[in-house]
Structure 1
Amino acid sequence: MKEYVGMVATQVAQVLLMIVSKSAIADGMSSYSFIFYSNAIASIILLPLSLYFRRSPDRPSLSFTIVGGFFIVGLLGFFAQISGYTGVSLSSATLGTTLLNLIPGFTFIIAALFRMEAIDIKRLTTQAKFIGTIVSIAGAIIMTLYQGPSIILSGLKSKVSKHLLGQPSNWVLGGILLTIDAIFASMYIISQAIVLKKYPVVIDLMFSYCFVCTIFSGLASLIVETDLSSFSLQPNSRLFSVLYSGIFGYAFLVTVQSWCIRRKGPLFVAMFHPVGIVIANLIGVIFLGDGFYLGSLLGSIIVVIGFYTVMWGKAQEQKKTVEDARVSSKLDDETAPLLQDVEEQSASPTP
């Protein structure tokens, strides 16, 4: 259950990251400066951890291919962050949370192309993964677009809740950028899985990712930004947003996600994005005084059904893989004595 607990924790961190990033950008901070500060703080946190674990004698050696993989992961992550935060600033964190639910679908397609997921449309497990992915996305969309009658009456909207909803300035362009964000995020997840197969050291990969994003966002800021006040950490809400983002939104969130990718695969991690919108609704009801509506209830149930369907399909595939390995091992054990007898007979002198 460690991976499940870890991914639920990352989704809570992701929802809160949406809120604080929207708050910082609404206060006049640019997307580029926010990404720069956040990744710089995460890099500072992850660097000593990377150096500490580097003392392990079992640590694999770095190669040009691995370093190139680090760079690609960082570049894809940077593109995802830029398009995502810009999309949120033009629309709302609510739309951002919704469109991020496209990530499971994109990830499933890319993973299938790279043969990271077993695809046989005639098999029940493949059908379960495909249908479950679609159902989860549909449930998340229902939660966002359909409200319905109130089940729990809401109090007054808090300031934080208003930041989450946002005041969209360009909904269409924001939606396009958030869709691009979902595509890059899916490619980012898949690229991590590829690199971790050859170099299974999560801390090194995540430090490299944050460091590359820091460099690119810093260079982009110098080119794009003309108003240096966007780099100011005043008022204190900016400073709080940046600290939260660097510590929990990046150093913690991306490291746990990468660890889960190495343990369970890219689709497992991607499937938790629809769960994130359920968590967002719970946070809104419990802490922000938001109402709980029929659409949220129906959407939550549908998301859980879809999520469970995908997890069931993956569990059945894993079970079959283990059984096949046991059968193969048993056959090898049974065949080995026979081969040994044949070799002994062949080696014995002919009378």
Structure 2
Amino acid sequence: MITLFPLISLQLRMEKLVIKSRSSNAKVMGSIISIVGAFVLTFYNGPSIWNSSLLDQPNDFLKSVDSSWAIAGILLIVDYFLVSLWYILQVHILKEFPDEVTLVLLYSTTAIIISIVVALLSVPNASDWKIGLNLSLISILSSGIFGKFIGNIVSAWSIHLKGAVYVTSFKPLQIVISVALGVIFLGDSLYVGSIIGATIISIGLYGVLWGKATEEIEEDIGSLESPSTENAHAPLLQNYRT
């Protein structure tokens, strides 16, 4: 997503890219560094720092000949493209309708209706829909409430305050947080590659945020130094005969 969103925002002229500007270079380099860090954290393990008590599962999914991996990758690309468009759309909606809770409520209601239709068409057997009072029900409720509803409200609120660039810049941190929570709660092993990838992502995130903050400061200084548009377009006083 951090790759698709800047490209789309540049095409729609939501973000400025000045080659000789330090802030623009910082945003570009920060985005590239974050992408590199995400790849390092995902595909490179290295020596183990903390061994898990559980059985380690080898990361050999790239050797799989199952076509579902390719289909899943294509669907993820489409998903990130649509999510990037949704973030851009939220920027324009919140300018005219600054109510994050109502926006997320309408979005969630629409998503629930579409999901129900797709699920009923995919799994028509009613017996497969039975859910007991167990861990599955708790996982579904917690994912819907905290993972989607509250998470979307926080994202919309952040977009309304600071723009979509800030929200998408923090997306690579999801990988870092998931790795940390996996080590703490699931007993996953911690590798050197995870530490290196997390460090690279943090450096890239700092670069993007520094570039965006510097750009806002430059715009504020430029607006103060430029002449007032109200005075510039004021008509000249004319003499009228009494």
Identity %: 36
Q: 1:236 — aligned with what?
A: 134
Aligned equivalents of 2:186 and 2:23: distance in 1? 40
Q: Please, which of 113, 120, 126 is the counterpart of residue 222 of structure 1?
A: 120
String of CA shifts for 1:173-217, please: whole Å, max 9, x gaps: 222222222112211211111211222211111111011111212
TM-score by length of 2: 0.86
Higher relative contact order structure (alpha carbons within 8 Å, sequence separation ≥ 6): 2
- DSSP-derived class of the 1:311 partner: helix
Amino acid in structure 2 at the alignment position of 1:114: L
Instruction: Give the corresponding residue for 1:289.
Output: 187
Q: Is 1:305 aligned with 2:203?
A: yes
Is 1:142 the counterpart of 2:40 in the alignment? yes
CA distance in 1, matches of 2:176, 2:184: 12
Letter in 1 for 2:159: I
TM-score by length of 1: 0.61
Instruction: Name the residue aligned to 1:184.
Output: 82
Provide the alpha-carbon RMSD of the alignment. Answer: 2.8
Task: Give the letter for the 2:46 counterpart.
Answer: G
1:113 and 1:264 map into 2 onto residues whose CA distance is: 20
- Give 5+ residue unaligned stretches, structure 2: none
Q: Secondary structure at the match of 2:132?
A: coil
- 2-structure distance, mates of 1:332, 1:349: 31
Any idea what the Cα deviations from partners look like across 1:258-280, whole Å, max 9, x if unmatched? 11111111121111111111111
How much does 1:235 deviate? Answer: 5.9
Any idea what SS the aligned residue of 2:151 has? helix
Query: 1:250 is aligned with what amino acid?
Result: K
Q: Please, which of 204, 228, 235 is the counterpart of residue 332 of structure 1?
A: 228
Q: For 1:51-200, what aligned pairs fall within 5 Å after superposition?
A: 103-156=1-54, 170-200=68-98
- Residues 216, 301 of structure 1: CA spacing in aligned structure 2 closer, same or farther, 3 A cutoff? same
Distance 2:53 2:190 in 1: 11
Which of 173, 178, 185 is equivalent to 1:280? Answer: 178
- The CA deviation string for residues 38-57 of structure 1, in whole angstroms up to 9 with x for no partner, is xxxxxxxxxxxxxxxxxxxx
| Stretches of 4+ aligned residues off by more than 3 angstroms | 346-350
Aligned length: 235
CA distance in 1, matches of 2:114, 2:155: 22
Q: Secondary structure at the match of 2:25?
A: helix
Which structure's residues are more often helix, by fraction? 1
* AA partner of residue 122 (structure 1): K
Shift of 1:116: 1.3
